[in-house]
Amino acid sequence: MAKIDAAEIWGLNYRLLMSAIAAASPGIERLGIETKELFVLAEIDAHPYPAELAEALNMPKATVTLYVKRLEASGFLRREIDAGDLRRHRLKLTPSGRACVRQGMKLLAEAFEPCLGRLSAAQRRDLKSLLERMV
Is the pLDDT at 124 greater than 90? The verdict is yes
Which amino acid, one-letter code, is at 104?
Answer: G
Compute the average pLDDT of residues 24-37. Answer: 96
How confident is residue 53, by pLDDT bands cut at 50, 70 and 90?
very high
Is the pLDDT at 1 greater than 80? The verdict is no
How confident is residue 4, by pLDDT bands cut at 50, 70 and 90?
confident
Domain borders along the chain are 6-134
Is the pLDDT at 12 greater than 80? The verdict is yes
**58-113: pLDDT as tens digits:** 999 999 999 999 999 999 999 998 787 777 889 999 999 999 999 999 999 999 99
pTM summary value: 0.87
The bridge status of strand 85-93 relative to strand 77-82 is: antiparallel
CB-side neighbour CA atoms (13 Å) of 59: 20
Q: DSSP letter string over 20-84?
A: HHHHHHHHHHHTTS-HHHHHHHHHTTT--SHHHHHHHHT--HHHHHHHHHHHHHTTSEEEEEETT
- Is 3.20.20.70 the CATH classification of the domain at 6-134? no
Under DSSP, the state recorded for 131 is: H
